[in-house]
Amino acid sequence: MPNRFLDLKKFWLFLIPALLLAATIGGAHAGELRGTGDLGIIIERAASRIQIIETTTQTKLFTVEGMGDLSHASVVYSRDARYAFVFGRDGGLTKVDILTGTIVKRVVQGGNSIGGAISQDGRLVAVSNYEPGGVKVFSSDTLELVADIPAVYDGDMLSKTVGLVDAPGNRFVFSLYDAGETWIADFSNGDTPKITKFKNIGKLPYDGLITPDARYYIAGLFGEDGLSLLDLWHPEKGMRRILDGYGRGEEPLPVYKMPHLEGWAEASGTLFLPAIGRHEVLVLAMNDWKEIGRIPVHGQPVFAMARPDGRQVWVNFAHPKNDVLQVIDVETRQIVKTMTPGRAILHMEFTPRGEQIWVSVRDRDVVEVYDTATMEKIAELPADKPSGIFLTARANKTGL
Amino acid sequence: MPNRFLDLKKFWLFLIPALLLAATIGGAHAGELRGTGDLGIIIERAASRIQIIETTTQTKLFTVEGMGDLSHASVVYSRDARYAFVFGRDGGLTKVDILTGTIVKRVVQGGNSIGGAISQDGRLVAVSNYEPGGVKVFSSDTLELVADIPAVYDGDMLSKTVGLVDAPGNRFVFSLYDAGETWIADFSNGDTPKITKFKNIGKLPYDGLITPDARYYIAGLFGEDGLSLLDLWHPEKGMRRILDGYGRGEEPLPVYKMPHLEGWAEASGTLFLPAIGRHEVLVLAMNDWKEIGRIPVHGQPVFAMARPDGRQVWVNFAHPKNDVLQVIDVETRQIVKTMTPGRAILHMEFTPRGEQIWVSVRDRDVVEVYDTATMEKIAELPADKPSGIFLTARANKTGL
């Protein structure tokens, strides 16, 4: 039956392109259909690369290359937790689709940048720049420039900007390192921000945080021994100094690494914060902003992070004592565990309900995952010189 | 060229099944590839149906039918925020894939149930049952039974269970309505729970909550004028009475609807809670659990919910005054807005960063969405007798 033979041959001729078509239709969903609640990003600092991971079974899903200079990189997420906005040191702002592991768009928006934030409504992404000093604000959808806010002071000087965070009401708050000012840029009435400036807040503000209730902005001062506090419910009252002279009368130690204020920890109405240059974690009462205790620790603390339920604070340290991780019990303020995962512990991130903590151990090229109840290691993932770790739960939070 | 004609005819013969094949392969991803951070569920109580919605542009994505009796239904989410576990009044536990809008599995696990919870690690789903009284615990993956905890008291009596919540350390906490007890079921060592019982906590506990820091469990008492408090950091200390006799010496009003404790609001170190049977919201200091104020409101409050930044508390009311929504300013404790969206306002849910609140208005068959900054309505979605609204941000939270 030659005809039948011909048919079969033709069948394949037609089937192959049809299968390719099928694959194409399937391929429109190159990423797997999955929830984004348990995803996150690990920065591979030296390799200009990020890993996309999931925390349920602790695996890597994708590697994304070509991310520029990722020193001091940080990440925020779109409100649907599908897109990551990665802020690089080279002024790069990269929008990554974490479901497909691909770069959606990348712009180099400044010469030297440090950190960013996403507005409460998810519409705007702001980047804080050292060079030229100021904040640029982009559409989270297209990465097109929406607003440019040069950090002008003393006539025509431009200040480095630091401590950029989002606040309720589509506001961004940031500080001017050189000028000693804090500004609020309010986008609640559209793309032209209303700027409110607070002057003389103290010398050399170097970072800022918003308390977990999103009410207070606190700028850490590098040029003075204290912090500056702004009540965002009452900006008309201006900023006031807190913990003034907390190191007074004591010999300051050389500062090997600036602590990060983003990691300041709130637990049971107290803030746990790394003291600059001292081997101490300070404990601050949030009702009157007074120091109520100091906890001696292994070295100069960099991050002091509270488990989401506020029962533990995990602390890492500056060079040369950066191979140690300590856990403080909040109730007794005692160190209950000291671990030595390896040199250069650069960052930690809790899963949102606190059962795991992910820890970057740069010089061992691994990220370790601990069960926070037992404080035992439960997983280890290879990573090339890992630094920051950022989980999608951040999409739901204010002030990061 | 008859041969060529034949070829064309055959082409279609082969192409049609091939296209069907393509559609099938594509159909493995019937849902659109998308993030799950902005998704949620609206219960359509009378229609045995749920809507899956997204909050970014406020639209409906799917309708899922065949959900059983959804009176008093509630929802928790898997840790990846892809799957919803819907607890129906008929004892139905339904696992729904919110990316495809399909039922993955449905079991009828009890005769009359009220609420559920998911463990910290996401592995276990617990359901609270009136009939037979107790808690059943299922694998979140397969919905297979993992543990059965009958609420036995006085020898062979079975109590209704209420106020079931999850707590850190893979624990579930719940209360026995008839027995006046609170139990902790601790699954931190596997599938056989360690049960801790607290007896004589007060008469007829009717609901429970965990404070946002996940430290305290509070049971509301229907049979007595007060509440019972458990410090989960110190279960060995037992439970103690708080707000004892808060209505003493005053004539109680008839109670038209029990308030919900899940909606108790924490803001600036205070709890705002609906007083049973009274036209008041009580204000409680969390440091010593004493009453520090009462706010007169429109009717008997049902839910008093704090905006995530703690600046506002939104309150709805029991029949016959359930057509009104009031907003309390937390700082001044004054009502700053009274709205009348329509009869039977059954539930409210804030987006995680607080810019929107979604409100069910049952008798108008709509869900309204408000901008919380302006308190103006920004969207309205049709819904058939809507009751509960549950957003995926709950996946990241403890004690819901």
Using CB atoms within 10 Å of the CB of residue B10, give its burial: 0 to 12 exposed, 13 to 18 middle, 19+ buried.
Answer: middle
How many angstroms away from the CA of A328 is the closest CA of chain B?
15
Say how far apart CA A270 and CA A264 lie, in whole Å: 10
- Taken in order of first residue, the domains within chain A and their CATH numbers are 109-255 (2.130.10.10)
Residue B112's DSSP bridge partners are B131
**Residue matched to tokens 């690990």:** A42
Say how far apart CA A325 and CA B350 lie, in whole Å: 37
Inspect the interface and report whether the beta carbons of A99 and B34 lie closer than 8 Å.
yes
A293 three-class SS = strand
Phi and psi at residue A279, in whole multiples of 5°? -85, 60
Inspect the interface and report whether the beta carbons of B14 and A18 lie closer than 8 Å.
yes
| Model-wide pTM > 0.95 | no
B6 three-class SS = helix
pLDDT in the model for residue A169: 96
pLDDT in the model for residue A336: 98
Residue A36 has pLDDT above 60, yes or no: yes
pLDDT in the model for residue A149: 98
Chain A residue numbers with beta carbons less than 8 Å from the beta carbon of B56 are 79-80, 122
CA-wise closest residue to B94 among B63, B53, B62, B50: B50
How many angstroms away from the CA of B136 is the closest CA of chain A?
22
Say how far apart CA A43 and CA A86 lie, in whole Å: 9
Phi and psi at residue A106, in whole multiples of 5°? -140, 130
CA-wise closest residue to B82 among B50, B28, B37, B142: B37
Closest residue in chain A to residue B78, using alpha carbons only: A37
Chain A interface includes B31 (CB < 8 A) = yes
Residue A269 has pLDDT above 90, yes or no: no
ipTM of the prediction:
0.90
Residue B164's alpha-carbon distances to B14, B151, B173, B194, B261, in angstroms, are 57, 12, 6, 16, 11
Chain B interface includes A76 (CB < 8 A) = no
Residue among B396, B397, B398, B400 with most chain A CBs within 10 A, to mutate: B396
Inspect the interface and report whether the beta carbons of B188 and A38 lie closer than 8 Å.
no
Single-letter amino acid, residue B234? H
Phi and psi at residue B326, in whole multiples of 5°? -125, 150
Chain B residue numbers with beta carbons less than 8 Å from the beta carbon of A41 are none
Out of A23, A33, A79, name the one closest to residue B56 (CB).
Answer: A79
CA-wise closest residue to B242 among B284, B210, B274: B284
Out of B120, B286, B310, name the one closest to residue A213 (CB).
Answer: B310
Chain B residue numbers with beta carbons less than 8 Å from the beta carbon of A331 are 233
Q: Please give the distance of CA A328 from its chain centroid, rounded to a whole number.
A: 22
Rg, C-alpha atoms of chain B: 23
CA B120, B125, B127, B132 torsion: positive or negative? negative
The better pLDDT of the pair A388, B274 is held by A388
| Tens digit of each residue's pLDDT (9 = 90 or more) over A335-351 | 999 999 999 999 999 99
Chain B interface includes A77 (CB < 8 A) = yes
B289, B153, B187, B392 alpha-carbon torsion, rounded to 10°: -60
Q: Please give the distance of CA A253 from its chain centroid, rounded to a whole number.
A: 27
Peptide bond into A296 cis (omega under 30): no
Inspect the interface and report whether the beta carbons of A355 and B37 lie closer than 8 Å.
no
Element (H, E) at A6: helix A2-27
Chain A residue numbers with beta carbons less than 8 Å from the beta carbon of B82 are 34-35, 37
Chain A interface includes B8 (CB < 8 A) = no
How many angstroms away from the CA of B335 is the closest CA of chain A?
17
Inspect the interface and report whether the beta carbons of A308 and B398 lie closer than 8 Å.
yes
Chain B interface includes A82 (CB < 8 A) = yes
Phi and psi at residue B230, in whole multiples of 5°? -125, 125
Positions of E strands within B109-237: 112-118, 124-131, 133-139, 145-150, 152-153, 157-158, 161-167, 171-176, 181-186, 194-198, 205-210, 216-221, 227-231
Helices (H), chain B: 2-27
pLDDT in the model for residue B64: 98
Q: Are B310 and B271 in contact (CB under 8 A)?
A: no
What share of chain A has pLDDT > 70, as a percent? 87
pLDDT in the model for residue A29: 41
Inspect the interface and report whether the beta carbons of B100 and A38 lie closer than 8 Å.
no
Q: Which residues 265-304 in chain B show a CB within 8 A of chain A?
A: 267-269, 286-287
Q: Which residues 303-342 in chain A show a CB within 8 A of chain B?
A: 308-311, 331
B347 three-class SS = strand
Q: For A247-259, what is the mean pLDDT?
A: 62
CA-wise closest residue to B272 among B307, B224, B324: B307
| Tens digit of each residue's pLDDT (9 = 90 or more) over A205-237 | 998 989 888 899 999 888 888 899 999 999 999
Query: Would you list the DSSP string of B288-308?
Result: T--EEEEEE-SS-EEEEEE-T
How many angstroms away from the CA of B374 is the closest CA of chain A?
10
| Tens digit of each residue's pLDDT (9 = 90 or more) over B288-339 | 899 999 999 999 999 999 999 989 999 999 999 999 999 999 999 999 999 9
Chain B interface includes A33 (CB < 8 A) = yes
Say how far apart CA A312 and CA A302 lie, in whole Å: 16
Q: Are B118 and B149 in contact (CB under 8 A)?
A: no
Chain A residue numbers with beta carbons less than 8 Å from the beta carbon of B11 are 14
| Bridge-based pairing state of the strands B102-108 and B112-118 | unpaired
Q: Are B235 and B242 in contact (CB under 8 A)?
A: no
Chain B residue numbers with beta carbons less than 8 Å from the beta carbon of A79 are 37-38, 55-56, 351, 353
Inspect the interface and report whether the beta carbons of A213 and B309 lie closer than 8 Å.
yes
> What would the two tokens of residue A394 be?
């951040």
Residue A28 has pLDDT above 70, yes or no: no
Banded model confidence at residue A245, pLDDT cuts 50, 70, 90: confident
Residue A155 has pLDDT above 50, yes or no: yes
Say how far apart CA B145 and CA B373 lie, in whole Å: 45
Chain A interface includes B349 (CB < 8 A) = no
The pLDDT averaged over each successive group of 10 residues in chain B (400 residues) is 47 49 42 94 97 98 96 96 96 97 94 92 96 96 98 95 96 97 97 97 92 89 88 96 74 64 67 88 89 95 92 94 96 96 97 97 98 98 98 92
Q: Please give the distance of CA B220 from its chain centroid, rounded to a whole number.
A: 17
Closest residue in chain A to residue B356, using alpha carbons only: A121
pLDDT in the model for residue A299: 95
Chain A interface includes B109 (CB < 8 A) = no
Element (H, E) at B87: strand B83-87
pLDDT in the model for residue B2: 44
Q: For A94, left (φ over 0), alpha (ψ -120 to 50), or beta?
A: beta
Q: Please give the distance of CA A77 from its chain centroid, rounded to a whole number.
A: 10
Q: Are B254 and B278 in contact (CB under 8 A)?
A: no
The better pLDDT of the pair A313, A276 is held by A313
Q: What is the mean pLDDT of chain B?
A: 89
Closest residue in chain A to residue B329, using alpha carbons only: A233
A276, A277, A280, A283 alpha-carbon torsion, rounded to 10°: -10
| Bridge-based pairing state of the strands B301-306 and B312-317 | antiparallel
Banded model confidence at residue A261, pLDDT cuts 50, 70, 90: low
pLDDT in the model for residue B265: 65
Say how far apart CA A398 and CA B55 lie, in whole Å: 17
Q: For A271-279, what is the mean pLDDT?
A: 87
Inspect the interface and report whether the beta carbons of B396 and A352 lie closer than 8 Å.
yes
Say how far apart CA B143 and CA B170 lie, in whole Å: 17
Chain B interface includes A37 (CB < 8 A) = yes
Most confident of A114-118, A138-142, A223-227: A138-142
Out of A36, A121, A398, name the one closest to residue B36 (CB).
Answer: A36
How many angstroms away from the CA of A212 is the closest CA of chain B?
8
Inspect the interface and report whether the beta carbons of A35 and B309 lie closer than 8 Å.
no
Q: For A51-78, what is the mean pLDDT?
A: 97
Inspect the interface and report whether the beta carbons of B36 and A37 lie closer than 8 Å.
yes
First to last CA, chain A: 73
